[in-house]
Each structure stands twice: as structure tokens, then as C-alpha cells.
Amino acid sequence: MNQLDALKQFTTVVADTGDFKQIEAFQPTDATTNPSLILKAVQKPEYRSLLADTVAQFSGRALDEITDRLLVRFGCEILSIVPGRVSTEVDARLSFDSNATITRAERIIELYQAQGIHIDRVLIKVASTWEGIQAAAELQRRGIHTNLTLLFSFCQAVACGQAKVQLISPFVGRIYDWYKKSAGAAWVEADNAGANDPGVKSVTQIFNYYKKFSISTEVMGASFRNVGQITALAGCDLLTISPDLLATLAATNTPLTRALDAQAAKALDLTPVNYDEASFRFALNQDAMATEKLAEGIRAFCTDAAKLDQLLLGH
């Protein structure tokens, strides 16, 4: 059995791509997209007609509406391939505006429903800012499922659990990137691999905390740099993986064992934590890595959203 098939015994495998033509080969359950992945996809020759068709069909509409319609077009194509859910992201430029996030999320869901897609097959991705988490809490109360992204810290995960969001996406690779860069010449790869990888340790802490206290929010590790990070999280609820790393897993036959165990987490001696706005902001501020990576991630998604705007305006 290859490692991809072995992983599927413990974990729901999700394809992390906007390139729906790549998805079928790996037979994932779900798929995730983000502004950067959609931007990358629409610049490929095979997707240009989809971009042009969307612009032509909705010419004269507001740019943000055309953007959402394009995202939903991709999402619908993906849902014709995967049996589960697709994640579609709210514009990152709304990351600090709860009301605007809710309005945009509701429109995305309405666009999916107009295409006959059931609400349970869509996860609305929102950045894990305080405002994003509060918006997600309200969306969940309205029956809209959310995926809280750009998550780098334990306090973000706890606040998401309190908000009863459907799913969180802790970014393994970006956490690893920060610690590796911070260590500089002192970094020893072998000492920070597998279970000792800082990104893996972060997700493991969150997973164990959620399972210990029966928090229903799903944990989906994301943003992987290597296969070792993935195999060290076998047993996590879900893992969203790029096509390149899915291919590597599929081509590898090394035995794979469960690394995270929900039942074992129940026996751990952990203390419950709660955050209000002030304590959340303070805890996030005290975590230099999470503060920097959250800001950097929002800026990068905003940049790619603006580039997508320019592509749409150019048609």
C-alpha cells in the first residue's frame, strides 16, 4: 500500500489546489482553494476560457461580485470531482471587518445554492483574526460552515473552538518557515523533523486539546513543506495537501502508522483555556511567529486578490 492510501485510513485527505484538472488522480474527499491558488489556476491556458466566460456573462456587475462568481465556478467544478466539500475564501481585504465578512460569505453561499450545491458541501474560509472568528461564529449560527485559515497559534485555535467553527486550518509549513529563518545558521534540520517540527508540534497541541475537551471543530493541517510533516500528523482529522506532495505520497511505499490519536488525547493532563477579545489579542501579540505570519499571510492574499482584480478588469 502506498503512503497516500495508508494515510486515508487515518485521515481525511484534502487536495490543496484550484487546479481541478489535477484533483481526480488522487481521489481526495475534499478540496481547498485560496486567492493565491485561484490566481495561479486562472493564468493557465486551460482555465482562461472559464475566466473569460465569467467576465462576459456578468459584465457590468461589481468587480467583487464577478470575483465571487469566478470562485464559485471553480468550486462547482471541484465539487463535480470530489465527494465531499470545497473551501472558498472570503476576500482577505475584509479580514478585520466582521459585518462585511458575513455579508460576503452569505453571497458566496447563495451563489453556490443557485447552482444546486447544498450548503453542507461548502466551507467559507475566513482569516483567524478576532474579527474573522466573530464573523465565523455568527455564520455558524446561521447554518453556514466555516474554515478558519491563516491559523498559527494556540490562542487562535482556542478562540475558534469557542466560536464553534466547523474547521480550522493550522499552517504547518509557514510555522516551520518562521522558526527555520529565525534560527538561521543554528538550525539543524534533523533535530526539527517529524514530531519535533515546530509546525507539527503546533498542530499536535491543538488536536490533543480539542480531543481532550471534546471540542467538535475539525482540525485540518495545511501548508506542508515536505512529506515528513504530513506523515507526522497521520491521524489528524484532515490534512490538505498540494498535488506535488500527494504525488510523492502516492509514489512512496514506506509503511505509515498513526501519529495522532484522539483516544490517547483524552488521557492527557491539560487545562481548559478561554479567551475574550482582550486576552486573545494579548496572547497573539506575545507570539511573535503567529503575529508576523498572520499579518504576512493576509498581506499576501490581499496582493493576490488585487492581481485577480486586474486580470478580471483586463477581460
Query: Mean pLDDT for each 10-residue chunk of the chain (315 residues)?
Result: 97 96 94 94 93 95 97 97 98 98 98 98 98 98 98 98 98 98 98 98 98 98 98 98 97 97 98 98 98 98 97 91
Residue 43 grid coordinates: 493564468
pLDDT of the residue at 315:
82
Contact between 128 and 156 under an 8 Å Cβ cutoff? The reply is yes
Nine cell digits for residue 217:
471543530
CA–CA gap between residue 108 and residue 30 (Å, rounded): 18
CATH number belonging to domain 3-313: 3.20.20.70
pTM of the model: 0.97
Look at residue 35 in the predicted model and tell me its pLDDT: 86
One-letter amino acid for residue 215 of the chain:
I
Query: Residue 175's pLDDT is what?
Result: 98
- The pLDDT assigned to 57 comes to 96
125 in active site:
yes
One of 125, 211, 212, 293 is an active-site residue; which one? 125
For residues 97 and 104, give the distance between their C-alpha atoms in angstroms, rounded to a whole number.
11
How is residue 177 written as a grid cell? 518557515
Counting Cα atoms < 13 Å in the Cβ hemisphere of 168 gives: 34
87 closest CA partner among 19, 153, 151, 14: 14
Range list of β-strands (E), 21-109: 30-32, 86-89
